[in-house]
Every structure is written in structure tokens, then in C-alpha cells.
Amino acid sequence: MTVGGSGVGGDLLRRVISSFTDAKGLVPALRMIVVAGRGSTQRQCRGGRESTGSRSVPYVHNLYRHLAACDLAMCKAD
């Protein structure tokens, strides 16, 4: 999941992060990386409770490589 660095995607981040526990119950091997963007603060980035298999980061170098390797990407369009 990536929403860019403007902070506008904060609500979307919180909703996706909060749904991870339920989704992991259905797919035990599920992993999620939430990328909030360079301009985001750590608080905005975390946005919710982290759990096993989930992590939140403000920035990932070469994000396109992560997106190319994932099964599903959720992105906020500008």
C-alpha cells in the first residue's frame, strides 16, 4: 500500500492497516508493507496497530521493485 507523501491518504492508511488482522486470519501467509511517503510523519505512517506480517515505513528506495514483486498493490492516485 502506498499513498504518497502529502498526508492526504492518512484515512486510507488507517483503514487498510486496521483491516490487516482480519485479512491475515483468512490468508495466514499474508504480509503487508505500508509506504506512507517521504513527507509523512511516523505517526501518520503508522496510522494504526502493526501486527506480525505488517510493517509501516515512510519511504522505500526503488519502490517500483516492491510493486513489481507484490501480488496486490493499493495506491492512491493523484
Instruction: Judge whether residue 5 has pLDDT over 70.
Output: no
pTM over 0.85: no
Q: Domain map of the chain by residue range?
A: 10-69
> In this predicted model, what pLDDT tens digit does every residue of 31-75 receive, in sequence order?
988 877 666 555 555 544 556 788 878 788 898 898 899 988 887
Kindly state the average pLDDT of the residues 6-22: 78
Reduce the secondary structure of the chain to three states and give it as a string: CECCCCCCCHHHHHHHHHHHHHHHHHCCCCCEEEECCCCCCHHHHHCCCCCCCEEEECCCCCHHHHHHHCCCCCECCC
What pLDDT was estimated at residue 6?
58
